[in-house]
Amino acid sequence: MRLNHAFGTAAVALLGSGFAQASDESVRQVAIVGAGAAGSSAAYFLRQFAAEAGVHVNVTVFEKTDRIGGRTLTTNPFNDPTQRFEQGASIFVKVNHILYNAMTEFGLSPSYRDADVDSVMGIWDGDRFVFTIDQNAPSWWKILKVIRKYGISGPRKVQHLTATTVAKFLRLYEPQFFPFESLTQRAEDLGLLEVTGVTGEQYLEANDVDARYARGLVQASTRVNYASNLAQIHGLDTMVSMAADGALAVEGGNWQIFHEMIQRSGAVVALNTTVIGIDKVSDSTTSQQRYAVQTRSGSALDSSTTHPVTFDHVVLANPFQFSGISVGEGVLETAIDEIPYVQLHVTIFTSPYRLSPEFFGLPTSAKVPGMVLTTLAQSDTPSSGVGGVGKAGFLSVSMLGQATNPQTKRREYVYKIFSPEAVTPEFLSRLLGRSVPSGFTGSDSPISWYLPHVFNSYPRALPRVTFQDPVVGAGVYYTSGMESFISTMETNALMGKNVARLVVDDMQGATVAKSKNGLAWEEKQSILV
């Protein structure tokens, strides 16, 4: 545990002024650390639940960067804010109720696949395309194409498994299951531990899904969605990867949902403000426990200050292991486990050229599919990490759309590459069939604009049957335990909403006995049938 004497004294000294400032004793102070999907949703629903309950909250959101959205990150080719493409989280689906309802309520518009990109999707195994399909073809034709290649039974079984799994998950939104103090308990209640407890490969095999279909189409989905082969990802994330029918995004950028949530929450937002320490302080007059938060400003890296307000509740809304927060004695009653994350390189670039057919072993006259997913070659061993990418060498390359080059005023292609390692000029030269200089761009480069980004994108979702629960201390909550279960914008927003509910219940002194003890036997029966 951190021992910071100077800070301790400062915190106690400031505590008095914090109380004095909040002259209205009934105002409950809540700190949210992180303004991604989870933190924004927590702020938004806190306001709503508090208003309904008639409690007064003052929410402060601390965000390290100078923007809202976290891993939901919209990028502007040629640094032109009117040209927008997702470099982080890009899609969601209609049954993502929190996102979809927020989008609709906030007057934001959905956008579906860009019409001016090539609609063909191909799965490449490093040697050849094992499958291609035109996504704009009528559904009967697409179904026929899949059946001709993989038979009818595999696709039908996977579709059924996906539908039943999604239906089980969606019950988490129902009053009977929401809120929850234990994610592990809920996963068990909903019969989802048997899906998270095995690999996607085992889960599909146990359900008699044809191995060729699993290794081809399903694995291409887990690789593009979670940078993982089927043998290294649990069954639930595998099913989530297959539940992308009707995928959509917010016109102009997904981050707008979270920005608007924060706006409407009425929270005080401290951007460029990194939380570096949290300590428990007790108020001698009321003997109440509160939390002091130490921050550092983004521009002044060596100076730290103690935030003038102390907090009744703290919501940690980011993966704790990367947050750089040191917590004082007694803040965490449950340790937050470190979990392995995938390091993903997401590279966006523009070029007037199409991808080289030769790179993919296609005839010179052939057109490379607009979306290239990958799977393992016959000769590959399915290992995890960088080696797990196999002969293909990358996870996906897709044409996102077109952007106008301000210099030439011409429309160019916008590409996105997912890879486990940084993309090199040598690789790009082969991919485009033209020499890319060591600086990537320049007057003689086929690449006109280039922006790589490295994310700790999501956990390596190895099978597991226990999850970090959201209550980690007295009045201290944590949202990212959700990520080992399912890592998406929606699930993290759901966890933010769940924590908001728990905080307000706590303020009202309600004991949510049900979630702690699990469900009654009869309730379980009704779910399982």
Ligand X SMILES: *[C@@H]1O[C@H](CO)[C@@H](O)[C@H](O)[C@H]1NC(C)=O
Ligand Y SMILES: Cc1cc2nc3c(=O)[nH]c(=O)nc-3n(C[C@H](O)[C@H](O)[C@H](O)COP(=O)(O)OP(=O)(O)OC[C@H]3O[C@@H](n4cnc5c(N)ncnc54)[C@H](O)[C@@H]3O)c2cc1C
Residues engaged in binding ligand Y (CB under 6 A): 33-39, 62-65, 70-72, 88-92, 274-275, 317-318, 323-325, 344, 346, 455, 457-458, 479-480, 487-490, 492
- Cα distance between residue 426 and residue 434, in whole Å: 10
Least Cβ distance, residue 326 to ligand Y (angstroms): 10
Distance of closest approach, residue 307 Cβ to ligand Y, in angstroms: 12
Nearer to ligand Y, 205 or 251 (CB): 251
Residue type, 317: A
CB 71 within 8 A of CB 455: yes
Q: Which does 165 bind (CB under 5 to 8 A by kind): ligand Y, ligand X, none?
A: none
Per the CB < 8 A criterion, the answer to whether 346 and 418 are in contact is yes
Q: Tell me which H or E stretch contains 105.
A: helix 97-105
Q: Please tell me the count of residues contacting ligand X according to CB under 6 A.
A: 12
* Residues 6 or more apart in contact with residue 183 via CB below 8 angstroms: 467, 468, 469, 470, 481, 482, 485
Q: How many angstroms separate the Cα of 479 from the Cα of each of 44, 443, 457, 468?
A: 15, 46, 16, 9
Query: Any contact of residue 55 with ligand X (CB under 6 A)?
Result: no
Q: Is 140 left (phi over 0), alpha (psi -120 to 50) or beta?
A: alpha
Q: Which does 22 bind (CB under 5 to 8 A by kind): ligand Y, ligand X, none?
A: ligand X
Residue 61 contact, options ligand Y, ligand X, none, Cβ 5-8 Å cut-off depending on partner type: none
If the CB atoms of residues 39 and 481 are measured against ligand X, the closer one turns out to be 39
Which amino acid type is present at position 157?
K
Of 19-27, 104-112, 421-429, 463-471, which part binds ligand X (CB under 6 A)?
A: 19-27
Long-range own/partner contacts, residues 521-524 (CB < 8 A, 24 or more apart): 523/176, 523/189, 524/189
Q: Which of ligand X, ligand Y, none sits in contact with 268, Cβ below 5 to 8 A by type? A: ligand X
From the CB of 44, what's the least distance to ligand X, in Å? 17
Identify which of residues 337 and 358 has a Cβ nearer to ligand Y in the complex: 337
What whole-number distance in Å separates Cα of residue 474 and Cα of residue 476? 5
Closest separation between CB of residue 249 and ligand Y, Å?
8
By beta-carbon proximity to ligand X, the closer residue of 59 and 233 is 59
Q: Which range in 21-29, 281-289, 420-428, 517-525 contacts ligand X by CB under 6 A?
A: 21-29
Q: Is the peptide bond before 420 cis (omega within 30 degrees of 0)?
A: no
Residue 309 touching ligand X (CB under 6 A)? yes
Least CB distance to ligand Y at residue 38 (A)? 4
Beta pairing, strands 129-134 & 120-124: antiparallel
376 binds ligand X (CB under 6 A): no
- What residue 271 binds from ligand X, ligand Y, none (CB within 5 to 8 A, per partner kind)? ligand X
Kindly state the smallest distance separating residue 93's Cβ from ligand Y, in Å.
Answer: 9
Specify whether the CB–CB gap between 215 and 125 falls below 8 A: no
Residues 264-293 that bind ligand X (CB under 6 A): 268, 271-272
Q: Is 438 in the site for ligand X (CB under 6 A)?
A: no
CB 149 to ligand Y: min, Å: 26
103-142: burial string, b at 16+ Cβ within 10 Å, e else: beeeebeeeebbeebbbbbbbbbbeebbbebeeeeeeeee
Helix (H/G/I), strand (E/B), else coil: 446? coil
Q: Which does 344 bind (CB under 5 to 8 A by kind): ligand Y, ligand X, none?
A: ligand Y
Q: How far apart are CA 73 and CA 45, in angstroms?
A: 22
Instruction: Provide the binding-site residues for ligand X, judged by CB under 6 A.
Output: 21-22, 27, 58, 60, 66, 268, 271-272, 298-299, 309
